[in-house]
A and B are shown apart, each in its own frame.
Chain A
Amino acid sequence: MILVLESGNLQSLFDTLISEKYQIIGPTLDNSALIYDEITNVDDLPVGYTDEQDGGRYRLVKSGGKKYFDYVVGQHTWKRYLYPPEKKLFELKRKGDGFEIVENKQEIHKRAFIGVRACEIEAIRIQDEILLEGPYKDADYERCRQNIFIVAVNCVRPGGTCFCVSMGTGPRATKGFDLAITEIVDNSGHYFLIESGTKAGEKIMKEIKGKEADQNAIETADRLMKEAENKMGRRLDTDDIKELLYRNFESSRWEVVAQRCLNCGNCTLVCPTCFCINIEDISGLEVNSAKRVRKWDSCFTLDHSYIYGGSVRTSAKARYRQWLTHKLASWIDQFGMSGCVGCGRCITWCPVGIDITEEVQAIRESEGKGKIMADKEE
């Protein structure tokens, strides 16, 4: 089913979701920054804002327009809700000579995510596969993940660090959504083209104040999406990427980037596919109770590679190389897919603007140069 919804009727989507008992999570402004948080009204969306993104730089800009979704992904990811940054898993309480286990039975809302971009849908799929389909199932992720209703928003205006086209994940959402929206402003007005992807999506569609989409609207959306493909802020040549990186394990480029890398971990914590966690067991002062807490971790810390006797990856070079090579190469061996969806967050939110696409390109070019030099020597 494909509908056209006049912009003035967007609230009917919100109202329908709320009446179906969904808690809506979507983009909103906090302290002049874009975050994902609970919203109830279309006015909670960052109406009339757009973003500027580059390596190590993000600015929200008031565009004065009336569009609801004229920006792309910000720092927050949906994994904040599906795989929370910090979570108490259980508590132990002393009881007589033994102890009892008190599980964290925190209630999890039935949630609707509004404004999920195509790259983010792919990131959620990647985490689903790793955390639910692998040999070990993450029970907590499963609880958070079920009952999620996804409203995708197609990216008409890609951001300065986006490269979803290179990774084959966007800018248009083609699967993994309940509803997908394209926001259009043209001479026939300001409206949304909405398509459903699931039965649950269709059910909601029936309740909102849309009308059947005409050919013009469908074609306009197609054209906008085609144009968006050519507006990517970044590009990553993925040709032979796994072998390229494996071959260049000892590339001098790793030293160059290590000079700049702060090994602060920001890139991993903003990445929608990174799933590393640490488990902390904490006993109280009175030693009558203890708790186990799960926290987002990063391969940029020394403890991440700590084994008996010390850390394996002590240099910044080793840690950056591990991260990039895992994302783009060994992830393929491990899970049969790339670990990068091209959302650009690691580029934008690196405090010193280190750019994954630039690093791969530099390694590629260093090989080229190597070859030319070898040719000359012959």
Chain B
Amino acid sequence: MARERKPKLAVWKFASCDGCQLSLLDCEDELLAVADKITIANFPEASRAVIKGPYDVSLVEGSITTPHDAERIHKVRRASKVLVTIGACATAGGIQALRNFSDVKDFVAIVYPSPEYIVTLNKSTPISDHVFVDYELRGCPINKYQLLEVVSAFLIGRKPIIPPYSVCMECKRKGNICVMVAHGTPCLGPVTQAGCGALCPSYNRGCYGCFGPKETPNTNSLAEWCKKLNVSRDDLTRFFRNFNAYADSFRKESEAHER
């Protein structure tokens, strides 16, 4: 099918560290190769130039933490044909969702000299709590190849291959020796979605769950086993309360061990 006009890609930033946008910037070689096929209409980390919408694909980074952003996301949605959230902040609320487990006012009072100037919401929430999301890309940060896969798939109109199974699948294919079994190191791999290429277990560390809960995660069984590996209740709470702390199953598991 010959396209008459170049598809427009936009990138939007909400509460985040910009790490996921940097993953996109890291795709410069691949993006340059298609520069004549797509228009990058809005990409704050790369350029200030903004081309007006509507956009064919919007990549949204970051979570909603302010009343202003809670409105702005609706504008982005209205201007986008396909909206893809990228990274743990956008898909689960991010590390800043740690505030959701206490009172944000206490944090504000400690961090800012003049707390009265801070306008913020009580909770950091994922984009999907606010608008309809067409596709979610996990990770803290996202994986460059998965991002290219999603963009490629949407541009050509096919389903992206982003497997929702465990990190263990990647870990075993890679040939890593399991850190849980061989060293007794707690690892979130069995309940975390693949995508990172089992990065941490490849360096003999347990998985930190950057890609959030996998399909049908059994966090409870993993937690019970970790107790046998002498992980304390407090550590279990911290184990599940990470970059994806507010993702449903991780949130529930961390709360179950909280005192």
Q: What is the interface of chain A, defined by CB distance below 8 A to chain B? A: 30-35, 56-60, 74-76, 80, 85-86, 259-266, 269-270, 280, 282-287, 295-296, 298, 300-303, 314, 316, 348-353
Option from B182, B191, B225 in Cβ contact (under 8 Å) with A59: B182
Determine if B165 and A86 form an interchain contact, defined as CB atoms under 8 angstroms apart: no
Determine if B155 and A351 form an interchain contact, defined as CB atoms under 8 angstroms apart: no
Determine if A80 and B175 form an interchain contact, defined as CB atoms under 8 angstroms apart: yes
Determine if A285 and B151 form an interchain contact, defined as CB atoms under 8 angstroms apart: yes
Determine if A285 and B148 form an interchain contact, defined as CB atoms under 8 angstroms apart: yes
Determine if B173 and A85 form an interchain contact, defined as CB atoms under 8 angstroms apart: yes
Residue of A nearest to B33 (CB): A286
A-B pairs under 8 A by CB, number: 133
Q: Which residues of B contact A265 (CB under 8 A)?
A: 165-166, 168-169, 172
Determine if A260 and B151 form an interchain contact, defined as CB atoms under 8 angstroms apart: no
Q: Which residues of A contact B161 (CB under 8 A)?
A: 280, 282
CA distance A58 to B225 in the complex (A): 15
Among B34-62, those with CB < 8 Å from A are: 34, 37
| For the complex of A and B, 10 pairs with smallest distance between CB atoms | A33-B177, A85-B173, A264-B190, A269-B172, A262-B190, A301-B165, A264-B168, A264-B166, A352-B225, A285-B152
Residue of B nearest to A266 (CB): B168
Some 19 contacts from A to B, beta carbons below 8 A apart, are A30-B177, A35-B177, A85-B174, A259-B221, A260-B218, A260-B224, A262-B218, A264-B166, A266-B168, A266-B178, A269-B172, A270-B172, A283-B152, A283-B156, A283-B158, A284-B152, A285-B31, A286-B34, A351-B222
- CB of B19 within 8 Å of the partner chain: no
Determine if A76 and B175 form an interchain contact, defined as CB atoms under 8 angstroms apart: yes
CA distance A270 to B184 in the complex (A): 18
Q: What is the interface of chain B, defined by CB distance below 8 A to chain A? A: 30-31, 33-34, 37, 148-149, 151-153, 155-156, 158, 161, 163-166, 168-169, 172-175, 177-178, 180-182, 184, 187, 189-191, 204, 215-218, 220-222, 224-225
Q: Which residues of A contact B153 (CB under 8 A)?
A: 283
CA distance A286 to B111 in the complex (A): 47
Determine if B164 and A302 form an interchain contact, defined as CB atoms under 8 angstroms apart: yes
CA distance A282 to B174 in the complex (A): 20
Given contacts A264-B191, A282-B161, A298-B169, 6 further A-B contacts (CB under 8 A): A262-B190, A269-B168, A270-B172, A283-B158, A351-B180, A351-B187
Option from B37, B180, B184 in Cβ contact (under 8 Å) with A286: B37
Residue of B nearest to A59 (CB): B182
CA distance A295 to B163 in the complex (A): 12
Residue of A nearest to B37 (CB): A286
CA distance A175 to B29 in the complex (A): 54
